[in-house]
Structure 1
Amino acid sequence: MPLLGDSSAVASAEERRLGDRIARELFRDPDYLDDPVLADYVQGVWQPLLVAARQRGELTPELDERFAWQILLGRDRTVNAFALPGGYLGINLGLLGVVSSRDELASVLGHELSHVTQRHISRLIAKDSAQTPWMIGAMILGALAASKNPDAGNALLVGGQALAAQSQLNFSRDMEREADRVGFGVMTQAGFEAQGFVTMFDKLQQAARLNDSGGYAYLRSHPLTTERIADMQSRLPLGAPHPVARAPLMHHAMMATRAKVLSNPGVDALRVWQTQADDASLGNAPAAQQAGILYGAALAALQLRDVALARHNLARLQTLAATDAKSAEPLRWLDAEINLAARDLTPAQRFDLATRLGLTAAPTPPLASLRRPQLMLQTQLALQLNQPALLNAQTQTLQTWLTVQPQDALTWQALARLYAAQNQTLRALRADAEAQAARLDYTGALDRLRAAQDMMRASEVGGSVADHIDASIIDTRQRQIEALVKQQVLSP
């Protein structure tokens, strides 16, 4: 619960609407990235933090229900993470590329989560009652854009109020200390090592000394002080030596590398990974470092459409990581990415890939066994194989996933493709509409629902029970989306 006193005049519902407004623009940003593999890795850290915050009473039932609690990834190479109104958090791939462990990532996410649960954002919004919510939203978007491109950021700032935006985004020192303290408690209760908080502080402090080129935007919005660093060190067990960053595990090293490759897709940058993989001294490096470089070389080769080279680097990586159990899944997913991109598999090889990915015509597996990267790869393979039984089974699997993850836009898009492959155009349009709605583009969702209704009228759909059910769902969703569109228009 907030300990600085909840003096906020901003209701949680109003804060969520403002967050939705900002998030809608971020979804449209070309830098927005929904990479299932990286998102799955981040969720593996994020979900335990949410559970711990609930257990500690930091995340109240009201905020838990009203706020989005959604993480948006951006390709930007700057080392930055930020909390937004309404429970949205942003993470740049630049940050994922520099953290040395899950513990360090947990320290950043726990800190940002605590800014939201302690209502710091709401208090900042209420601090200047002269600023209307829409202006504050524009200022926040402008400040985020300015971290990538000062000219673009200034264009978005209403009336050029750059100083006001900076003031609006910067938390007070008391708020920063509270987010440190609460975030520390949340991350340690979630099972992460306390040393991650201190080593992350050390890393950022060193970066502050050596780098003032704008690459560490996190430092400008979260200024470190000797007092804050000492406070985190004092929370370690009495007599414990000053912690040093943990040696990265293979799994983490591969995910950090994936973030680096996807954030810098230029041809020259991609070729550098192969140069590192071919370096004769690579074998002398720690195993995790070798794994990261080989993973980067394989993924970079795939980006350059050199499938043979990607397979060669993957084979080296598989040999290196053969005994590392936690690396098995990311290696299996990378293998599937490469083979799906190649499109040169024999029928026997495709059957083998389907087996390794768990794609069968059997009934839908239990929800607990489903992983989002695997779902997306299974869908790609089902579409390539184009067998009715597999398409139908994968459709049921995605439907099951969406019953508990209805805001998963990427899965709705995958489901739309599966429906289209089965000539179920009406359902494909509805799934595409849900994908747009999940990204808060209600106008786009409404367009697709109206197209579905036009199709029903043109073909006089309604002869079967299934047709009546589809028509009813589409009509109901259209009314719901129309109400959301009106709310967007009327919101200040």
Structure 2
Amino acid sequence: MKKKLFCYGALTFALLMSASFLSVSAAQNLPTLGDTSREELSPLMERKLGEQIMNSVRRDPDFMDDGPISEYLNRLGNKMLEARPDARGETTYDFEFFAVRDPVLNAFAFPGGFIGFHSGLILAAQSESELASVMGHEIGHVAQRHIARMLTSQKFDSFIPLAALALAVLAARTSPDAAMAVAMGGQGLAIQRQLNFSREAEREADRVGFQILNDSGFDTAGMVSFFGRLQASMRNYTDNAPAYLRSHPLTSERIADIQARMLDQRYRQRADSLEFYLTKARIRVLQDSTIQGLMDAKVFFETQIRSEKEEDKIAGTYGLAFVAFKQLDFANARVLLEQAKTRLEKSQANKNILNTSSMFASLAIDIQLGSKQFELAAASAEKAMQQLPLSRGLVYQYVEALLSAKKYEVAGAYLRDQLVMYRQDARLQNLLAKVYAAQGKQALQHIALAEAYAIQGSWPAAIQQLDIARNEKDAQYYEQSVIDAREREWKELHKEELAEERKRK
């Protein structure tokens, strides 16, 4: 099977933005920028673009919608941002860090503070400082507004070459031959200009990322060690891709630049958190949950628990519990999770993780749900939320447990309270729609679905759900009033968006 190339860095996030989640025609409709990028692509517009992209990302089957993984990545990222709050920009972006299922080493940033990691990259990171170095690098792209600057550079070129190269990079995920065919339609000079700009942006992101890495207390040597591994990886991929798809700058130059910066820094050794190892265990299982993939993961974890390192023993046992859960062997999963927890409680350095992470609680709840112990799962989730009130994953598990236990009134009341605090959470609206469906409240069900579509910016689908709700027999005066108000509001917003698109043509 031919190897894939999926670029890592400044070029990748711009290409993904312009081709994967915005259509080629949408990319052509982006505003043309003058000498100062902020004049026409404001930070607020960047954020809006990023949110539109993420709406599509979250619907992709390769998006890792896993509470513990998401919470770990966001805790790590926000720790780094606390050390350098100026990286959030003048509008103080709320960054979002997420993982996607892909074995190729890659990470990317979308405009407005959305940063993604391939599962393969997280597994390849041999230390938390290495993972943090990639995170700092991508934060650097956002902080330096490279999206706006790259679009500014397009003032001198047609959008067609950028779109052609974007499609080629995406096609390379499944077929290098298709990638070459698509990319050959682009114009070489414009592509070279784009690559030159990306090299400059990569070096700039390295410098910013290095400073963030250092200020947040991580080992800056992690950046050098990871880049070295990335350099070796790229040698394996480039044979099957056209030269201009090799957007990664000369890695040796970047490594030399970072090594020079390290000369002024005191040596700092930082211990990896147990949560880093547990995250890798979950990702290893979720990256390939086929029968063979689970068997391979089991072999890996059985080897890992023979390590002398306590973190490896705990993470390996936890990984075996997760494999057993995925294999629907809930009894064995429960035993293995208890074994991992017993090891953890004996470890003075790591036992506090039970109070700071949902890793153990979340898997315990999943095992209870799988075993059809729905009321126990709901009670476990409720207790865990008291300990970890900011865990969104536990919120969703709690509602799923209530739904499974047929406690619809409790679930509905809880969801409505949550939506007061988290108005833009489409998943909460979808769960509320499930509750209403179970209660036979059809008008409210379709109103909730409409709200979920509206949060995602899918105005036609949202308005269609309102039409369905209006015609349901149980749509009373209150529901009709809500439908009419939402319809007026959303039609106006949709009209404004269409007008903006026409202006850009």
Indicate the residue corresponding to 2:366 in structure 1.
337
- Number of matched pairs: 459
* Cα pair 1:18 1:137 within 8 Å, conserved: no
How far apart, in 1, do the equivalents of 2:454 and 2:178 lie? Answer: 27
How far apart, in 1, do the equivalents of 2:312 and 2:327 lie? Answer: 22
Counterpart amino acid of residue 62 in structure 2: D
How far apart, in 1, do the equivalents of 2:420 and 2:45 lie? Answer: 32
Q: 1:304 and 1:91, CA in 2 relative to 1: closer, same or farther beyond 3 A?
A: same
Say if 2:179 is the partner of 1:179: no
Indicate the residue corresponding to 2:295 in structure 1.
271
Say if 2:482 is the partner of 1:470: yes
Say if 2:77 is the partner of 1:46: yes
How far apart, in 2, do the equivalents of 1:487 and 1:237 lie? Answer: 54
Say if 2:151 is the partner of 1:122: no
How far apart, in 2, do the equivalents of 1:33 and 1:220 lie? Answer: 27
TM-score, normalising length: structure 1: 0.79
How far apart, in 2, do the equivalents of 1:111 and 1:270 lie? Answer: 32
* Cα pair 2:459 2:491 within 8 Å, conserved: no
Shift of residue 443, structure 1, vs aligned partner: 3.4
Q: 1:487 and 1:77, CA in 2 relative to 1: closer, same or farther beyond 3 A?
A: farther
Residue of 274, 281, 298 corresponding to 1:250: 274
Q: 1:415 and 1:326, CA in 2 relative to 1: closer, same or farther beyond 3 A?
A: farther
Say if 2:404 is the partner of 1:384: yes
Residue of 82, 90, 94 corresponding to 1:61: 90
RMSD of aligned alpha carbons: 3.8
Q: How does 1:98-247 map to 2 (within 5 A)?
A: 98-129=124-155, 131=157, 136=162, 139-140=165-166, 142-151=168-177, 153=179, 159=185, 168=194, 171-189=197-215, 191-193=216-218, 195=219, 197-209=220-232, 212-214=235-237, 221-223=247-249, 225-236=251-262, 238=264, 240-241=266-267, 246=270
**What is the percentage of aligned positions where both structures have the same residue?**
29
Mean CA deviation greater in 10-19 or 259-268: 10-19
How far apart, in 1, do the equivalents of 2:276 and 2:412 lie? Answer: 35
Indicate the residue corresponding to 2:9 in structure 1.
none
Structure 2: runs of 5+ lacking an equivalent: 1-33
* Cα pair 1:10 1:125 within 8 Å, conserved: no
Structure 1: runs of 5+ lacking an equivalent: none
Shift of residue 254, structure 1, vs aligned partner: 0.8
**Cα shift readout 1:213-264 (whole Å, capped 9, x = no counterpart):** 33999x95443544533443454585734x66x5543221010121122112
How far apart, in 1, do the equivalents of 2:233 and 2:122 lie? Answer: 19
Indicate the residue corresponding to 2:17 in structure 1.
none
How far apart, in 1, do the equivalents of 2:259 and 2:106 lie? Answer: 23
Indicate the residue corresponding to 2:335 in structure 1.
312
How far apart, in 1, do the equivalents of 2:463 and 2:339 lie? Answer: 49
How far apart, in 2, do the equivalents of 1:137 and 1:25 lie? Answer: 18
Indicate the residue corresponding to 1:301 in structure 2.
324
* Cα pair 1:295 1:314 within 8 Å, conserved: yes
How far apart, in 1, do the equivalents of 2:170 and 2:414 lie? Answer: 39
Shift of residue 93, structure 1, vs aligned partner: 1.5
* Cα pair 1:76 1:92 within 8 Å, conserved: yes
How far apart, in 1, do the equivalents of 2:335 and 2:188 lie? Answer: 50
* Cα pair 1:24 1:441 within 8 Å, conserved: no
Indicate the residue corresponding to 1:445 in structure 2.
462
